[in-house]
Structure 1
Amino acid sequence: MLYSGITPADKRRAFRERLASGELLRMPGAFNPLSARLIERRGFDGVYISGAVISADLGLPDVGLTTLTEVAARARQIARVTDLPALVDADTGFGEPMNAARTVQELEDAGVAGLHLEDQVNPKRCGHLDGKQVVATEVAVRRVRAAVEARRDPNFLIMARTDARATDGLDAAINRARRLVDAGADAIFPEALRDLGEFEWVRRALDVPILANMTEFGQSDLFTVDQLRDVGVNLVIWPVSLLRLAMGAADRALTLLDAEGSLTDAVGEMQHRRDLYDLIDYASYTRFDTDIFDFTVPD
C-alpha cells in the first residue's frame, strides 16, 4: 500500500550486489509510476527512467529542455512506488560540473538507485540522431568527478554515458570510457553501438559494468537479452518502448472512436478495471482504516 516498503539505501545496496554478480539485469523504461508497478509485477530486475520519455510526456523534444526539478520530481514519483531499483537519465547534469554535483544529491534524495551523465554538448539531442557533438574529454571527466565527489551514499551508482562512437569512432569511445572510469564512474553506457561485435569489444576493454540501449528506430539493432548476455553486457534498457506502445494504442483507439463513435470494439484490448485495481492494491486501502477509508471496491 502507498509506497515501497524498501528504503532507497537498501535498493541501492541490492542493485550493487546484483551488478557485482555479473548477471544481466533487465530494466524496461517506465513512463509513469503505474507502469513501474507493472514492470515489477512482470518480474524484471529494475526500472529505467528515460529523459526522452519525460520530455515527450511534457510535449517537448529530447533536446535538453527539461529541468532538474522536472526530472527529479518524476524520478521520485516512480522510485517510491516500486521495490525495484530505478536508474535515471540525468542528461548532461543540467549544467556545469557544479550543477552535475547538485543533480546527484537531488536524485539521491528522490530515492533512485543511480543515474547516468552523458558527454554531449548543450543543448543535447537524442543519442540516436545525427548531428550530435560531444564535449572535450577533460570536460566530461570533470562532470564525472564532480558527481562522484557529491555522492553521499557510496552505493548510489554513477554511470557515465559516452556518445563518442557516433562522432569519433569506436576506439575513441573506448578511450574516453576508460578516462571516465578513471574519474570514478561505476559503469559505462556506450551509446549507439552498431553491432554485437562492438559491444563485445567494449566489454573486453573495460572492467566495469556496461549498459546496452535497445531503443527502437535507432542506430543499434534490437538484440535479444540472450545475445547481449553472451557478449558480457550487464544491463539492458528499453527506454521508450512502453510509451511508444501505449501511444500507438491510444492513437488507434482515438481513430476508432472518431470513425465509429464508440470504443466498444476496443474494450477487449483495454486493461480491465479489476486488473488496474489489483495493480494499485485498492484492497489494502479498504483494509487500512475503515473509520477513514469507508469505500468498497466493486466486483
Structure 2
Amino acid sequence: MSYLIGADAPPGPAGARFRDLVAKPGIVQLPGAHNGLAALQAKAAGFQALYLSGAAMSASMGLPDLGIITVDDVCFFIRQVARASGLPVLVDGDTGYGEALNVMHMVRAFEEAGAAAVHIEDQILPKKCGHLNDKKLASADDMAAKVAAAARARRNLFIIARTDAVASEGMDAAVARAQKYLAAGADAIFPEALTDAGMFREFARRVKAPLLANMTEFGRTPFFTAKEFEEMGYRMVIWPVSALRVAAKAQGDLYATIARDGGTRAMLERMQTRKELYNVIGYHDYEALDASIVSTITPEGMPR
C-alpha cells in the first residue's frame, strides 16, 4: 500500500535517508521513474532510491529537454514519485532555474515536495542533454555560487554538482571545477558524458568525493553495469530515461496496432492485466481502508 494511506511512512527526512544510502557499502542504484506508477514498479523490483530525470519529465509533457519546464512542473512529478513509493528521490535540477536566489527557491520547493537530493549543472540556458554537442558552460565561479546558495537553503537535501566540462574544456578543467564545487558545499559530484572506462577511473582517482555515474542509452558513455561503475570508484549510478524509453516504445506500438487493426487484440500479451495493475497500485488496500472508516456524525448544536 502507498505510504500515503498506510502506517509505514518512512522515518526521518528524505535527504537524511539518501545520505545514509550513499554512506553504506555498495553502489546506490537509481533507476529513472517518471511517474507514480513507475515509482511503485521500481520499488517492487527492490530498488531503495529513485531518480527523476529532467529529460523524462520534459518528454512526458511533450517537450524537449532544453530547460523549458519550471520548478512547479518538477514539483508535480516529485510529489507523485516520492508519495507513491516512499523512497528517497534524486531530482534533476537542471541549471537551478536561474541564479543564486532562484536556486535557493528551487531547493526549498523541491524539499517541500518530498525530494531527497538534487543535482544542478554548470551549463547555461538553453541547456542541453549532457550527451549532445555544443553545450555552453557557466563560469566555474558562477556555478560555485549556485552550489553555495543551494547548500545555504537546504535543510536536509543532498546536493550533487554536475559538471559538463569534460567535453569542451577537458579532464583537468572538469576536475578543477569539481574541487571548486565541493569547496562551495556540494556533497557529491556528477561528471557527465565520460566516454570510456579510463576517463571514469581517472576522474574518480582525482576527485575524492562521492561520485555519480550516468548510464543512459544512445549517448556517449558505453554500457557499464552498476558493479563495474562501483569498481571504477562511483557511489551512485542512474538510468535516467530507460523506463520512459521502454514505455514510450510500447505505447507507440499500441497506437500503431489500433490504427492498423482497428483494435488491441494483437497487443494483449504485452499488456499489464487489470489484476497486475491493481496489485501494483494497492487498489484493494484502498478499498479496505475506505470500508474501515466510520462515518463522522457532526453534532447539530451546542449542549444546553
Q: Same fold (TM over 0.5)?
A: yes
The aligned residue for residue 219 of structure 1 is: 220
- Gap change, CA 1:78 and 1:8, over 3 Å in 2: farther
Measure how far apart 1:230 and its partner are: 1.2
CA contact (8 A) 2:75 2:109 kept: yes
The aligned residue for residue 187 of structure 1 is: 188
Q: 1:13 and 2:16 equivalent?
A: yes
Cα deviation digits, residues 222-273 of structure 1 (max 9, x gap) = 2111211111211111111111111111111222222222211210111111
Q: Following the alignment from structure 1 to structure 2, what is the Cα–Cα distance between the partners of residues 143 and 22?
A: 30
1:80 match: secondary structure: helix
Measure how far apart 1:8 and its partner are: 7.3
The aligned residue for residue 270 of structure 1 is: 271
Q: Following the alignment from structure 2 to structure 1, what is the Cα–Cα distance between the partners of residues 205 and 25?
A: 14
Q: Which amino acid aligns with 2:58?
A: S
**Rg (Cα) greater in structure:** 2
Measure how far apart 1:73 and its partner are: 1.6
Instruction: Name the stretch that deviates more: 238-247 or 259-268.
Output: 259-268
Q: 1:23 and 2:30 equivalent?
A: no
Q: 1:1-299 residue pairs with structure 2 within 5 A?
A: 1-4=1-4, 5-7=8-10, 9-153=12-156, 156-290=157-291
1:88 match: secondary structure: strand
CA contact (8 A) 1:8 1:111 kept: no
What root-mean-square deviation, in Å, do the aligned CA atoms of Structure 1 and Structure 2 show? 1.5
Q: Spell out structure 1 runs of 4+ moving beyond 4 A.
A: none
- Structure 1: state its 5+ residue gaps: 294-299
2:12 match: secondary structure: helix
Equivalent pairs: percent with the same residue?
A: 43
Measure how far apart 1:2 and its partner are: 4.4
Cα deviation digits, residues 141-169 of structure 1 (max 9, x gap) = 0000000011122xx20100000011101
Cα deviation digits, residues 50-93 of structure 1 (max 9, x gap) = 01111111111111111111111211111111122100001111
Instruction: Name the stretch that deviates more: 3-12 or 102-111.
Output: 3-12
2:56 match: secondary structure: helix
Q: Following the alignment from structure 1 to structure 2, what is the Cα–Cα distance between the partners of residues 288 and 28?
A: 30
- Structure 2: state its 5+ residue gaps: 295-304
CA contact (8 A) 1:36 1:78 kept: yes
Instruction: Name the stretch that deviates more: 251-260 or 2-11.
Output: 2-11
Q: Following the alignment from structure 1 to structure 2, what is the Cα–Cα distance between the partners of residues 188 and 28?
A: 18
Q: Following the alignment from structure 2 to structure 1, what is the Cα–Cα distance between the partners of residues 286 and 76?
A: 24
1:128 match: secondary structure: coil
Aligned length: 291
Q: Following the alignment from structure 1 to structure 2, what is the Cα–Cα distance between the partners of residues 231 and 2?
A: 36
Q: Following the alignment from structure 1 to structure 2, what is the Cα–Cα distance between the partners of residues 160 and 94?
A: 14
Q: Following the alignment from structure 1 to structure 2, what is the Cα–Cα distance between the partners of residues 8 and 35?
A: 22
CA contact (8 A) 2:31 2:51 kept: yes
Q: Following the alignment from structure 2 to structure 1, what is the Cα–Cα distance between the partners of residues 188 and 130?
A: 18
